[in-house]
Amino acid sequence: MQEDKKTGPLSDDVYFEIEAPLTPELLKRLHLTLQEMLDEVVRICEENGLRYYLHFGTLLGAVRHKGPIPWDDDLDIVMPRSDYEVLKALLLARSGDELYHIHCFENDKAMCRPFMRIRKRGTIYRRESDSRVGMRDVGAWLDICPFDDIPQSSGVRCHLYIKLVSLLMRLISNKAQLDMRGGRAYAKVVHLLLRPFSRERLHDLLERLIRHWDGTNCDYYVFWNTPYNIEDEIMPKAWYEQTAEMEYGGKKYKVPKEWDKVLTQLYGDYMTLPPVEKRKPHGGVEIKL
């Protein structure tokens, strides 16, 4: 690990920058750590009859590499909202000193996005953005993402609804930026305008919006917390009604039966490797495994 570069101690109003290269050896150790956490989550899901699916880059890795994408540094599963909430309650009820523990808005207001993570105690995997928003738990993590109901993938009403949720998520992200140095002028203005609104209030509003269609006859799932076009994250529920098992790191895990359709919608020609210059992990980090 390279020597840390800091402008000061980690606090709510200090920018904290770290650089640490992810060597191939560190990546292999990280992949093993992430799969340990995956096995624990899968165990809990299977014991409680909860649905889960490998998804995003993890599903792509299973299909294309039979394991992690060699340069990837995270792991993702998705769950329908009802199963997600049961798992979340089970994890929140566990002892706080568990080796694998939940990290979500309920125990860290810096986790303002609408998903949760499993962290491994005793490890560190810190991205620069974690420090900027005041993240308190920076152990190696596994992302667990909820699939919410949505009635259709087109139409004016749905389009406006998507735009409203996207706007609110951007506002919450701006609210979380505790250090705005270097930001654009409009971001700083928005940050000041949002100062009277607590993270709790904004988070509650977002949760109500993204669950607006729960319990209705919806034919699609959507994952809201995407850095890409949200419309690309709207998938027919029929693609997930049945599951298949696929090898990942020498073990079998559940994937959507229509995994080819899912990956094609997300990535297009997903079997073609990206250019060498794009085969990079997500960013600068402090690492301890």
pTM (predicted TM-score): 0.86
Query: Average pLDDT of 11-38?
Result: 71
Query: Average pLDDT of 151-168?
Result: 82
Q: Is residue 181 part of a domain?
A: no
Please give the pLDDT value at position 184. 63
Query: Average pLDDT of 57-79?
Result: 96
Q: Are 219 and 150 in contact (CB under 8 A)?
A: no
Q: Is residue 87 part of a domain?
A: yes
Structural domain boundaries enclosing 251: 24-150+236-288
Please give the pLDDT value at position 176. 62
Q: Is residue 246 part of a domain?
A: yes
Please give the pLDDT value at position 101. 95
Q: Is residue 269 part of a domain?
A: yes
Q: Is residue 219 part of a domain?
A: no
| pLDDT tier for residue 18 given thresholds of 50, 70 and 90 | very low
Please give the pLDDT value at position 175. 67
CATH number for 113? 3.30.460
**DSSP per-residue codes, 96-156:** TT-SEEEESTTT-TT--SS-EEEEETT-EEEEHHHHHTT-S--S-EEEEEEEEEES-S-SH
- pLDDT (tens digit per residue) in 210-262: 999 887 789 999 999 887 788 889 999 999 999 999 999 999 999 999 999 99
Q: How far is CA 226 from CA 60, 79, 210, 222, in A?
A: 16, 15, 13, 10
Q: Is residue 210 part of a domain?
A: no
The fraction of the chain above a pLDDT of 90, given in percent, is 54
Q: How many independent structural domains does the chain possess?
A: 1
Nearby residues of 115 by Cβ (< 8 Å), 6 or more positions away:
104, 143, 144, 145, 146, 225
Q: Is residue 41 part of a domain?
A: yes
Q: Is residue 116 part of a domain?
A: yes
